[in-house]
Structure 1
Amino acid sequence: MPSSAALALMLTLATPGTMQFDLSATAPERQHRYEMGGHGIEPGDSEKGFRFSVALPEGDYRVTLTLGDRRAAGDTTVKAEARRLMLRNIVTAKGQFVTRSFLVTIRTPALPPPPANAPGGSAVRIDARDAREATWDEKLTLEFLGTPQVASLRIEPASAPTIFLAGDSTVTDQYAEPAASWGQMLPALLDDRIIVANHAKSGETLKSFLTNLRFDKLLSTMKPGDWLFIQFGHNDQKREWPQTYVAPDSTYPAYVRAYIAEARRRGAHPVLVTSPERRNFDAQGRIIDTLGDYASAVRKLAAEEQVRLIDLNADSRAIYEALGVDRAPAAFNDGGRDKTHHNNYGAWLLASAVAQRIRDTIPALAPHVTAPAFAPTKPPSITQVVIAPSLIESDQRPAGN
């Protein structure tokens, strides 16, 4: 016997596979708390916003929102799953309503089990931190922030080209404020005809991304015409991690070549991304090179394999030097004490650089870029990049710091 929440969910079906919810401030659904297998408000809602979840099977979905209210003005920011930025600062006047849509993917740790006696696993090896996130559960979680005014929500299955992201903590969807990474900002800089599936994980390396079965999970849903953005280096260069260390002149490019080959075998397009630099200035105000051998290896490999290149290492250096020694810490996690990981502002700057490189160098993806033109040597100030903070906070630094 389905729960009352599940029954309410079934009754919202406007067409097969489509769900419609009334999320206006006084709607019963807006007051309903989430129950397993149903839909409703997650714990932790406050004057800053609320999270609304819907139990759904793994897959890709189009979310269509009507934003606005007859009685009040609004300024609505929308994030999905683990703080993936989908819509930013949608302003509505009192009595005004606007419609916005985006594509989102949700996943669980489950993998197609290998045949009997074959090596492999039936699930991604997630850790305790993963288990706390909204990324790996059997529901879609949307976070409405700022001064949210949400009239209605429609969810329907979708199919579209996907940009898969494979990488480490500088790419992943950081689950709690104040940390953030460029991968979780990218969806807000693209249109609603392409999906961003961020499989990056803090602390991962080229080797551990394989052994933890994260690459298997990514490949399990990859289809012809999709894209695979590959960015590793920060953790791969750590000699103190002997099981996952790879040398920039031999094993590092060899492993990246394997990723490229796996994408091509499935008809997808690999893209190489050089790792963003750490924020270490010399006496002349220039960024000290800590990743150069690995960035150079990626550039060389892109030329040899005829793969598109996004040189985020070069762009990050330009951004930090343009901000300068005094202003650059404002783009980083932990009040600037963290010199590797970013906050919302810094993640937005790096994602803007990635979006601009897509526009400039990948003709097939360029039409999907909606971000304004971005020059790394002239980054906008922090007052120009306002991103409503999420409800979940943590003082724990990303793994691999």
Structure 2
Amino acid sequence: MTWRFDFGPEGAVKEEYQKISSAVRYDDKSGYGFASLEKVTFKKRTDELLTGDFCIPFDTTFMVDVPNGHYIVSLLIGDTLAPTHTSLKTNGEHLVLHNYKTVAGQFAREQFGVNVRDGKLKLSFGGLAPRINALEITASSQQTTIYLAGDSTVTDPVPGNFPFSGWGQMLNFYFKHDVVVANHAIGGRSTKSFIDEGRLDRIMEEIKEGDFLFIQFGHNDQKNDEARFTDPATTYPEHLKRYIDAARSVKATPVLLTSVHRRYYDQEGKLVDTHQAYLEAVRKLAAEEQVALIDLAEKSKQLFEELGPEGTTSLFLWGEPGEWINYSNGISDNTHFQEQGGLSIARLVVEGIRELQLMPLTMFLKAAAV
């Protein structure tokens, strides 16, 4: 099944395309349209179909009702007279285009994969001079899926928390449309509570042979409450093994990740390890079970020590009073990331994928990530 949209003022439209003009606001009856039109404008430059007209979707979201599943999205971007500058996030605020530029007269087609779990495919636009000429959405069952199980350092953000970011939100940016990221991570969960709440079961309803299950916990396994605590010598690796066994039961590939570090330094500027035995438990289990391991703790340690206490404030959720609209009183969070941090940690994950030569994931990395 494919949906096709042509953006621009009312007028001629290419066969099999639906015209999206200034009157098309989303409603349940049509099942598609912009969430808001206040900052959206439509322009026509020439009579060429698709490339001759376009929409400037400034700070808005275009939504389409679709069945839950995986999709390949193809986007045509360009302007005959002006350069363009577009950023784009999809469902779960997954970054797919970051400051994407075209020069005057250039038209570019970009493709990416999207996982839909709430019946709506959403394209949220940003950038200094965003454009959209045409859009195609095609259902697909052929893509490789990376399922993410983890905590708040991995999760997608909830509305109203910008610039909060988990690295899972940013992982899609590094892959071609052949790979889809299904981020099931959620804040506050441990290996135990994630399973007890049925979240691993939900992954198992979808995951298939050839897919991947990336597993990163530890932050909340340290918590003292009964619902979340696991012991690094016993119950922590026992719970992690349940994820490994579940993935292998459907011939998917489990990948263990050590916990990304928190932002705590000693007097010499060296990073303080707040996870300790939990990190060694993951490394030991990976060796025993012959599971691929991305040592995100070691990679983030190197990055954070290189940047130092001051430099890492640009990665973590730090801000002065009034700097971030959603944290108007200021914030100093040494565990969670802002978007630049989420993007940086996702790049470390991609580095690990490349080092392990995880096929076909390595083959589907964008050139900029190789």
Q: Same fold (TM over 0.5)?
A: yes
1:326 lines up with 2:310 in the alignment: yes
> Which runs of structure 2 are paired with 1:295-306 in the superposition (5 Å)?
295-306=279-290
Q: Give the aligned residue type for 2:125.
A: F
Preserved contact between residue 286 and residue 293 of structure 2 (Cα < 8 Å): yes
* Cα displacement (A) at 1:271: 0.2
Preserved contact between residue 352 and residue 371 of structure 1 (Cα < 8 Å): no
Preserved contact between residue 25 and residue 37 of structure 2 (Cα < 8 Å): no
- 1:369 corresponds to: 365
Q: Give the aligned residue type for 1:34.
A: Y
> Which runs of structure 2 are paired with 1:22-33 in the superposition (5 Å)?
22-24=6-8, 29-31=20-22, 32-33=24-25
Q: Deviations over 1:372-392 (max 9, x none)?
A: 469xxxxxxxxxxxxxxxxxx
How many residue pairs end up in the alignment? 328
How many angstroms apart in 2 are the aligned matches of 1:89 and 1:342? 20
Q: Which moved more, 1:39-48 or 1:192-201?
A: 39-48
Q: Which moved more, 1:355-364 or 1:29-38?
A: 29-38
> Which runs of structure 2 are paired with 1:1-400 in the superposition (5 Å)?
17-24=1-8, 29-31=20-22, 32-36=24-28, 38-43=31-36, 46=39, 48-107=58-117, 137-146=118-127, 147-159=129-141, 160-175=143-158, 176-239=161-224, 241-335=225-319, 337-364=332-359, 365-370=361-366, 372=368
Query: Which SS does the other structure have where 1:285 is aligned?
Result: coil
State the Cα RMSD in Å. Answer: 1.8
More strand by share: 2
Over 3 Å counting, the alpha-carbon distance change for 1:45 and 1:253 in structure 2 is: farther
Q: Which moved more, 1:19-28 or 1:323-332?
A: 19-28
* Cα displacement (A) at 1:191: 1.6
Over 3 Å counting, the alpha-carbon distance change for 1:254 and 1:85 in structure 2 is: same
How many angstroms apart in 1 are the aligned matches of 2:196 and 2:66? 28
How many angstroms apart in 1 are the aligned matches of 2:81 and 2:93? 28
Preserved contact between residue 167 and residue 231 of structure 1 (Cα < 8 Å): yes
Q: TM-score, normalised by structure 2?
A: 0.85
Q: Deviations over 1:123-171 (max 9, x none)?
A: xxxxxxxxxxxxxx32111111102111000001112111100001000
Structure 2 unpaired stretches of 5+: 12-18, 41-57, 320-330
Q: Deviations over 1:355-375 (max 9, x none)?
A: 01100113412212226469x
How many angstroms apart in 1 are the aligned matches of 2:294 and 2:59? 35
Preserved contact between residue 78 and residue 143 of structure 1 (Cα < 8 Å): yes
How many angstroms apart in 1 are the aligned matches of 2:89 and 2:310? 30
Query: Which SS does the other structure have where 2:350 is aligned?
Result: helix
Q: Which moved more, 1:138-147 or 1:360-369?
A: 360-369
Over 3 Å counting, the alpha-carbon distance change for 1:371 and 1:179 in structure 2 is: farther
Over 3 Å counting, the alpha-carbon distance change for 1:296 and 1:25 in structure 2 is: farther
Q: Deviations over 1:179-212 (max 9, x none)?
A: 0111111111112211111111111121221222
Over 3 Å counting, the alpha-carbon distance change for 1:322 and 1:104 in structure 2 is: same
Q: TM-score, normalised by structure 1?
A: 0.78
Q: Which moved more, 1:319-328 or 1:358-367?
A: 358-367
Over 3 Å counting, the alpha-carbon distance change for 1:101 and 1:373 in structure 2 is: closer
